[in-house]
Amino acid sequence: MTECGECRKERLKGAFCRVISVVALIVALAVALVAAEFPMVLSVAEGASMSYICIEADSGKVLDESNADARKFPASTTKILTALVVLENMPLDLEFRVDDSAVGVEGSSIYLKRGEIVTVGDMLYGLMLRSGNDAAVALAVATAGSVERFAAMMNDRARRAGAKNSRFVNPHGLHDDGHYTTARDLAAITAEAYRNEDFRRIVSTSSVTVGKGENTRVLYNKNKLLSRLDGANGVKTGYTTKSGKCLVGGAVKDGVQRISVVLGATCDMWQLSEKLLTA
């Protein structure tokens, strides 16, 4: 029997649709296998929308949250964990020579010089007030001997703070697909940091003068919450093109320390943080 033209078209159309369905199934299975094999890379979908949370620091009680368990790139809010690890392992008055690897690190900087002698305390101010990526590397190398070993310390400390869905590969938060956290994890890490008196003092400082002689620096805090919100006492801003705008805030309301985390902000992060910290 001779097949008519219309029937042939329908048959070929059906065959084509079946092929497309099979290809789509294969692609979906491949993606699932890759995700299972390489869970340390943040997916596009996870990073696409804003997430936030607000907790009571001492009790861990969640006051408000949205999308709080989505993996996000934390940018410089990473430095909260960096500061915690340094504070728990290094004396503030310890002097050390800036490692060459810390000179000229891209992004935010306090412009450390090759061979400069600094103190741990001064570098923590440079880390948390001015978000110095060079200060982050200098502290990491001074604490652990290398960025890689310091990152291992960061991951261990994050787990002990209760973080369950985070991975850190550097001390500053410059973009890396394998460097991520969640709003919930970062809130838990920050709550742990707030138990450290020196941390609370540093992140609540509006401005400070550090260094000596030609290496004297006047550092101003980038955290606008300190001047915008009564009771604000921290904590850290962050931004990369892939993380979007990030802000971890701290404030005391009715005698209770609150911590807010906003990652990948799609609105005014300052207003949202103020609302979370005061509602």
**Residue 24 placed within a domain:** no
Question: Residue 138: inside a domain, yes or no?
Answer: yes
Exposure on the CB side of residue 121, measured as CA atoms within 13 A: 11
The strand pairing partners of 117, in sequence order, are 97
Over residues 17-33, mean pLDDT: 46
> Is residue 25 in a domain?
no
Q: Is 76 inside a domain boundary? A: yes
Instruction: With respect to residue 152, please indicate whether it lies within any of the assigned structural domains.
Output: yes
Is 79 labeled as catalytic in the residue annotation? yes
The answer to whether the CB of 217 falls within 8 A of the CB of 110 is yes
**Overall average pLDDT of the 62-77 stretch:** 98
The answer to whether residues 244 and 255 touch, using CB atoms and an 8 Å cutoff, is no
Please give the tally of structural domains in the chain.
Answer: 1
Range(s) of the domain holding residue 122: 49-278
Annotated active-site residue 227? The verdict is no
pLDDT confidence bin for 49, thresholds 50/70/90: confident
Residues whose CB falls within 8 Å of the CB of residue 4, separated by 6 or more in sequence, listed in order: none
Q: Is pLDDT at 269 greater than 60 in this prediction?
A: yes
Note whether residue 107 is domain-resident.
yes
pLDDT at residue 10 tops 70: no
Residue 255 predicted with pLDDT over 70: yes
- Among residues 79, 108, 243, 260, which one is catalytic? 79
Instruction: Output the domain CATH number for residue 115.
Output: 3.40.710.10
Q: How far is it, in rounded angstroms, from Cα 39 to Cα 162? A: 19
| pLDDT tier at 55, thresholds 50, 70, 90 | very high
State the chain's mean pLDDT as an integer.
Answer: 89
Catalytic annotation present for 236:
no
Q: Give the active site residue among 76, 108, 166, 260.
A: 76
pTM: predicted TM-score of the whole model, two decimal places: 0.84
124-174 confidence digits (pLDDT tens): 999 999 999 999 999 999 999 999 999 999 999 999 999 999 999 999 999
Give domain status of residue 214, yes or no: yes
pLDDT surpassing 50 at residue 44: no
Confidence tier at 22 by pLDDT (50, 70, 90): very low
Residue 251 domain flag: yes
Catalytic residue among 51, 131, 243, 260: 131
